[in-house]
Amino acid sequence: MYAAEKTCFHPSWIEINLMQLQKNMAIIRGLIGKSLYCLPIKANAYGHGLYPVARAAVENGIDYLAVAHLQEGILLREKGISTPILVLGAIHEDQILDLIAYNLEFTISSKFKADLVASKCEKYKKTCRIHMEVDTGMQRTGVRPITAVSLFAHLKKMPYVEVVGVYSHFAKGGEVGEKQLSDFTLLTERLLLNEKRPILRHIANSLGVTHFPLSYFDMVRPSILTFGYVEKDAPKIFQELRPCFSLKSRISYFKVVEKGQGISYNHTFVTKKRTRIVTIPIGYGDGYLRALSNKGEVLIRGKRFPIVGSICMDQLMCDIGDNEAYVGDEVVLIGKQGDEEISLREIASLTNTIDYEILCLFNNRIPRIYL
């Protein structure tokens, strides 16, 4: 645990089990053969904490880190991380010098950006390391396969530009993914035919790692999988991975409420009988979605209890019926307690979103505690 991240600052906390994270990494490492392991840690490492996750990954021998933006890369370099870092997002002209100064590899997906980069590099006599992104079906960033060949040739001619990799990104599994994979395979075979130096080909995100073993190439980029979230239809070996993220709090107040009483703002819940209501000091101001009002459940003393009434900015209420619970008891909002578990997927499906988004919602108001 880091001294600056004690629970006393906030009555709720996120627990990150770095040992579990490293176990997950070891399992994935065992399955990807000789491919390099790149861990994308954009968006505060999917809410797990950018630097602590980077440090744990580096200690565990990660080959590459990836981020979405320059600013995330700078943060890691300033904290002393020296592992190769790839910036995945599109870059801006005024970021080029910082990208180079901080020794960050970045993505090029158009001739326009390539020329901007080349002219900056020439002017300052600095070499940059880039990966060319090819769009095989996302329609987001990336050069189309038909123009990839000429852009690649163009990049190779630039004296201050070193092409380190060529990559793409899966939009979907199934037949679409198969087609993306075969397009990428054919294209990179053609691109690298006369290439003497090794160039990293990479396309596999978590979906690629679990569903397309032929997508591993020279490097894989599984993130949500590393954090322990596995699709139900993934092969059995992957089912050993476990989440390392839990959201916890403590009961801050207890009261007995008579039948027919409305709870919280607008009284969206009315008690049907005399019951016990406990207050938990977490709310949408921390990133715990208000959409879970009258829907979500929490664990107290190993049992599930419903959230009743509207979730407030900093607090929410639970109906524990005739059960016993006291101020100070631990509450689990995401994760395990005893034999019960509230999964991230459960929270995501109750709020019509995906597990990725729920993880990203928790802001820095809630301390992360590292085990």
Selected range binding ligand PLP among 90-98, 149-157, 218-226, 231-239, rule: CB under 6 A: 218-226
| From 11, 222, 281, 309, residue interacting with ligand PLP (rule: CB under 6 A) | 222
Q: Tell me the site size for ligand PLP, rule CB under 6 A.
A: 11
User: Per-residue contact track with ligand PLP, 51 to 90, x per CB under 6 A?
Assistant: -------------------------------------x--
| From 169, 201, 248, 368, residue interacting with ligand PLP (rule: CB under 6 A) | 169
Tell me whether residue 204 or residue 307 sits nearer to ligand PLP (CB atom).
204
Tell me whether residue 211 or residue 221 sits nearer to ligand PLP (CB atom).
221
| From 120, 131, 221, 368, residue interacting with ligand PLP (rule: CB under 6 A) | 221
| From 24, 109, 180, 223, residue interacting with ligand PLP (rule: CB under 6 A) | 223
The C-alpha atoms of residue 35 and residue 29 are separated, in whole angstroms, by 9
What minimum distance in Å lies between the beta carbon of 73 and ligand PLP? 14
Show Cβ contacts of residue 350 under 8 Å, excluding neighbours closer than 6 positions: 291, 292, 295, 296
Hey, which bits of the chain come out as E strands? 13-16, 36-40, 64-67, 85-87, 105-108, 128-133, 161-167, 200-204, 219-220, 245-250, 253-257, 262-263, 269-270, 275-280, 297-300, 303-308, 316-321, 330-337, 340-342, 368-370
Closest alpha carbon to 49 in 310, 307, 322, 362: 362
| From 11, 40, 52, 287, residue interacting with ligand PLP (rule: CB under 6 A) | 40
User: Per-residue contact track with ligand PLP, 293 to 322, x per CB under 6 A?
Assistant: ------------------------------
Tell me whether residue 21 or residue 224 sits nearer to ligand PLP (CB atom).
224
Show Cβ contacts of residue 251 under 8 Å, excluding neighbours closer than 6 positions: 278, 279, 280, 300, 325, 326, 327, 328, 329, 331
The C-alpha atoms of residue 224 and residue 231 are separated, in whole angstroms, by 10
Tell me whether residue 21 or residue 263 sits nearer to ligand PLP (CB atom).
21
Q: Are strands 161-167 and 200-204 parallel, antiparallel or unpaired?
A: parallel
Q: Return the active site residues.
A: 42, 265
Q: Does residue 35 touch ligand PLP according to CB under 6 A?
A: no
Tell me whether residue 67 or residue 114 sits nearer to ligand PLP (CB atom).
67
Q: How many CB atoms lie within 10 A of CB 239?
A: 11
Q: Is 335 exposed, middle or buried (0-12, 13-18, 19+ CB in 10 A)?
A: buried
Q: Which 3 state secondary structure label does DSSP give 219?
A: strand
Tell me whether residue 48 or residue 221 sits nearer to ligand PLP (CB atom).
221
Cβ atoms of residues 340 and 299 within 8 Å:
yes
What minimum distance in Å lies between the beta carbon of 211 and ligand PLP? 11
User: Per-residue contact track with ligand PLP, 195 to 214, x per CB under 6 A?
Assistant: ----------xx--------
Binding residues vs ligand PLP (CB under 6 A)? 40, 42, 88, 169, 205-206, 221-225
